Amino acid sequence: MDPRQKPRLIEIIQNLRERIREARANGWLGEVEGLRVSFDAAMAKLKSLKNTPTDGRPQLVDLGMPVFTDDAPPLQSDE
């Protein structure tokens, strides 16, 4: 995410908080749950933005090592 978008993201988070309060006040429990999902995702983006260096260089991302098990059946050939 572009760090220049941080003010907009903060605005979105504030709006989601207000909408969650309104939905709770009106008893719209399904709406509250949907808004919480969006709020949590926006907060995760904000957190990742805080962990992003501001020098503009690309960052390495740890994708982890794949785990291979012997439980998989052998590949079959079409011969």
**What distance in Å separates the CA atoms of residue 64 and residue 12, rounded to the nearest whole number?**
32
Please write the tens of the pLDDT for every residue from 19-31: 999 999 999 999 9
Please write the tens of the pLDDT for every residue from 16-73: 999 999 999 999 999 999 999 999 999 999 998 887 665 666 666 667 777 767 776 6
Q: CA dihedral in degrees (19, 21, 23, 25; nearest 10)? A: -150
**What distance in Å separates the CA atoms of residue 47 and residue 37, rounded to the nearest whole number?**
15
**What distance in Å separates the CA atoms of residue 5 and residue 27, rounded to the nearest whole number?**
33
Residue type, 8: R
